[in-house]
Amino acid sequence: MILVTGATGHVGRAVVSLLSTRGEDVAAMVRNVAAAARLVPREVPLRVADYEDVPAVTAALAGIDSLVFIASDGEAGAVMRHHTNVIEAARKQRVRHITFTSIVDVDVGSSFYFAPVYQDAERRLADSGIPATVLRCGIYSDFILQYWLESGVDSGVLALPAGDGRVAPISRDDVAVAVTEAAVGRKPGSHYLVTGSQALGVAEIAASYSDATGTPLRYRPCSQDDYLMWTGKRLTAPWPRAFTTLCGSIAEGRYGRVSTDFASLTGRDPETFREFLVRSWRVGRPV
Ligand SMILES: NC(=O)c1ccc[n+]([C@@H]2O[C@H](COP(=O)([O-])OP(=O)(O)OC[C@H]3O[C@@H](n4cnc5c(N)ncnc54)[C@H](OP(=O)(O)O)[C@@H]3O)[C@@H](O)[C@H]2O)c1
């Protein structure tokens, strides 16, 4: 049986649906049963556990052959604890394969808020002795739309401390397809860099948005301090720091790589950022 964590989330529930449609023996790990009733297909069995609850996570992994571990989210210390709990439970329950969603920037020299969290998770996975496939996922197109582009619509200006850095956005739906293929294909020891097929500067991203939606938007690079102050008025901790240091990482060129690993895994190219925008517009509010 394949167990998918984060199964009420965007990526997790898409992976559950894809595995279920392919006829795989799949179960969904959730912490919120009411949300699962709305978001997880009825025929998929649930394993209920919060990542904080070590006995519940350990029980949830009993008899699981393959784990699709969608990374947790939130304050760095908590996320690190969540990842530790899941990997330790998988070791105890002798899970035979883990597919893990990591991030592109796991560089020890990076100031990105989440870089140490994912360095830690990847190290723990390697030390666990469990055969693992790691997908280092690029910045989600959905994230860029929700947190960058839509925040600039009123002023027509997208102010970010990303300098001349480039990103290769990939949609959450495509990430789910890559994760599913990696989980089914099971090539332990593999590392995949899951990015879009084009590295775009932030000015190009803003122009693409204007072009796809007819809403004028232009990029204005700003300082990290200004962005930290701006996000600090709008978002709760840790997001101002996380978003600001992510832009720092982009400015340092850590997110500009384009990989063909998505095509190798899935046999097709990922959706382009413009295609993603058009699709999001067609279906109405994207997130
Ligand atoms: N690359 C990027 O641009 C980017 C952007 C954002 C996030 N991410 C990462 O990618 C992951 C998947 O993205 P997504 O869009 O699918 O995220 P999402 O929709 O927020 O889903 C996160 C999932 O994690 C579950 N979760 C959170 N805390 C938990 C806990 N303590 N115990 C058990 N489950 C818990 C959530 O459960 P509930 O539904 O009960 O809350 C939800 O199912 C995120 O978790 C994050 O690590 C990447």
| Domains of the chain: residue spans and CATH | 2-138+171-195+257-270 (3.40.50.720)
Nearest-atom number in ligand 1 for the CA of 14 is: 16
Contact 114, 84 (CB under 8 A): no
The amino acid that residue 107 corresponds to is: D
**Helix, strand, or coil (residue 272):** coil
CA of 59 relative to ligand 1 center, distance in Å: 21
Distance between CA 85 and CA 58 in Å, rounded? 8
Contact 50, 56 (CB under 8 A): yes
CB 169 less than 6 A from any atom of ligand 1? no
- Residue in 67, 70, 174 to alter for ligand 1 test, most ligand atoms within 8 A of Cβ: 70
For ligand 1, whether the C-beta of 183 sits within 6 Å is no
- 101 three-state secondary structure: strand
How many angstroms separate the CA atoms of 96 and 94, rounded?
Answer: 6
**CA count, 13 A, side-chain hemisphere, 62:** 10
Distance 28 CA to ligand 1 centre (A): 14
Long-range contacts made by residues 276-284, C-beta under 8 angstroms, separation at least 24? 276/141, 276/142, 276/145, 276/169, 276/171, 277/141, 277/145, 277/208, 277/209, 277/212, 277/213, 278/212, 280/142, 280/145, 281/212, 281/213
| pTM over cut 0.95 | yes
Atom of ligand 1 minimally distant from the CA of 7: 43
Query: Among candidates 137, 279, 287, 143, which has minimal Cα distance to 205?
Result: 143
Q: Is the CB of 11 under 6 A from ligand 1?
A: yes
For every one of its 287 residues, what pLDDT tens digit does the chain have, with 9 covering 90 and above? 999 999 999 999 999 999 999 999 999 999 999 999 999 999 999 999 999 999 999 999 999 999 999 999 999 999 999 999 999 999 999 999 999 999 999 999 999 999 999 999 999 999 999 999 999 999 999 999 999 999 988 999 999 999 999 999 999 999 999 999 999 998 888 899 999 999 999 999 999 999 999 999 999 999 999 999 999 999 999 999 999 999 999 999 999 999 999 999 999 999 999 999 999 987 665 44
Ligand 1 pocket: which of 73, 140, 257 to mutate (most atoms within 8 A of CB): 73
Beta bridge partners of 170: 140
